[in-house]
Chain A
């Protein structure tokens, strides 16, 4: 046990099996998705997921900058994930760092496997993800937001990409970790699913798990992704039910 109050490991699981915020092990944090939150982008979305707040904007297909990245047979997908200086408790040093480069890369690659890039040769589809407030699981929230923004921009895709992290807290597998659970837990396993095919297009892991725990986690994560998928489709319907098209004439 640590002696400094703030460093003390919190009780992640109550004797009744409830988590630090009262959730069950297989329960998601509340998610709110707003499609078309920005005017100047071709597509955009704002996602509030627990205490995470993430904005995503999509431009394109458009001319490639810089030119040498242009590909003659398909669109290039350029993804930029960024976390605001004020997104965390201690000020985050702004700008590119190893973490945001890594997340930009894995999210961009996840979308490369679902976007029909061949339909727009020599163009670029640019995805910008801005984390305004962070509380663990921002890459998943960013992926969900970017996915909605791509759909809003009218970009052809195989499917939307729901994403969620599964982790291990107090020896138990739990869905959608929040910050304390991530910091003091034993493992963190973010994933993104193509619901149509059941394929995972993003899977990372930090920490340790047994083989059994891993397969249990994957099962729980896929189940969580499917739950998020429904919310994503609902958000798109809501956007256009009150929007310029689809209302009662």
Chain B
């Protein structure tokens, strides 16, 4: 008897299983995942969700009214979206949908990749960890089960959340992680003199607009412009 993948042996008679230590994201139905558009076709987009295959998002799976051939007006290569796994077929095809609460396009912000196995630690029990992070950084955070975390807000808030994600990933096996993250965030007050207790959205900036969920129409400017305007420089220190 042997294991086919590198992992930890778990023996709970009569069940013997190997918990993989690495590997790509394996999609599960009803998982919420963050993807980036890898290819645009006439009636659908292909999303890179970190799985072995690209996941097709059909235009009927969006809240938008789209004519055939108009797909590129709504999502272009590189755009980030939150979608839900709808179906898994024997061929390996991964069906996703954008219809549902909390699903849609993500504007601005940054995507950080961590191991999908670490996601439960990022969320915490009943969302305790993610609530702590949102409260103490003022950032908007969307967690995908595929190990991708979208962070929106000021450059500084984004940086602090990325740091926290790194801490969680490195210490995932330790207990009391939420307390540890909380004390880390409290000990590193954001520059600019504002305390960590500032309510969320106080830091919201125009250069990193909050995500727009299920907006009926795409941003006309973004569609018209061949290239995205460069991001404004970081706000001056004071």
Contacts and interface: CB of A to CB of B under 8 A. Distances in A.
Interface of A: 42-43, 60-63, 72, 116, 120-123, 151-159, 196, 236, 240, 244-247, 249
Contacts of A123: 52-53, 92
Given A123-B53, A154-B23, 14 more contacts: A42-B24, A43-B22, A60-B52, A122-B91, A123-B92, A154-B22, A157-B4, A196-B2, A244-B172, A245-B8, A245-B172, A246-B173, A249-B173, A249-B175
A156 B52 contact: no
A155 B22 CA distance: 8
Contacts of A151: 5-6
B170 interface: yes
B233 interface: no
Contacts of B225: none
B125 interface: no
Given A61-B52, A120-B92, A123-B92, A154 B172 contact: no
Nearest to B175: A249
A244 B6 contact: no
Interface in B65-119: 91-92, 115, 118
Given A121-B92, A249-B174, A155 B21 contact: no
Contacts of B174: 249
Interface in B148-174: 169-174
A2 to B, nearest CB: 50
B173 A159 contact: no
B20 interface: yes
Nearest to B23: A154
Nearest to A148: B6
A245 B173 contact: yes
Interface of B: 2, 4-6, 8, 20-24, 38, 52-54, 91-92, 115, 118, 169-175
Nearest first, the 6 closest Cβ-Cβ pairs linking A and B are A154-B23, A156-B4, A154-B22, A61-B52, A151-B6, A123-B52
A154 B52 contact: no
A149 to B, nearest CB: 11
Main secondary structure of the interface of A (DSSP, over half): loop
B175 A246 contact: no
A147 B52 CA distance: 19
A61 B24 contact: yes
A152 B8 contact: no
B88 to A, nearest CB: 13
B23 A153 contact: yes
B52 A120 contact: yes
A63 B6 contact: no
B209 to A, nearest CB: 29
Contacts of B118: 244
Contacts of A247: 173
A123 B173 CA distance: 32
A43 B6 CA distance: 11
25 contacts: A43-B22, A61-B24, A62-B52, A120-B52, A121-B91, A122-B53, A123-B92, A152-B22, A154-B5, A154-B21, A154-B22, A154-B24, A155-B5, A156-B4, A156-B5, A157-B4, A158-B2, A158-B4, A240-B6, A244-B115, A245-B172, A246-B8, A246-B173, A249-B173, A249-B175
Contacts of A60: 24, 52
Contacts of A154: 5-6, 20-24
A60 B24 CA distance: 8
Contacts of B2: 158-159, 196
Nearest to A120: B52
Contacts of B53: 61-63, 122-123
A234 to B, nearest CB: 13
Nearest to B4: A156
Contacts of B21: 154, 240, 245-246
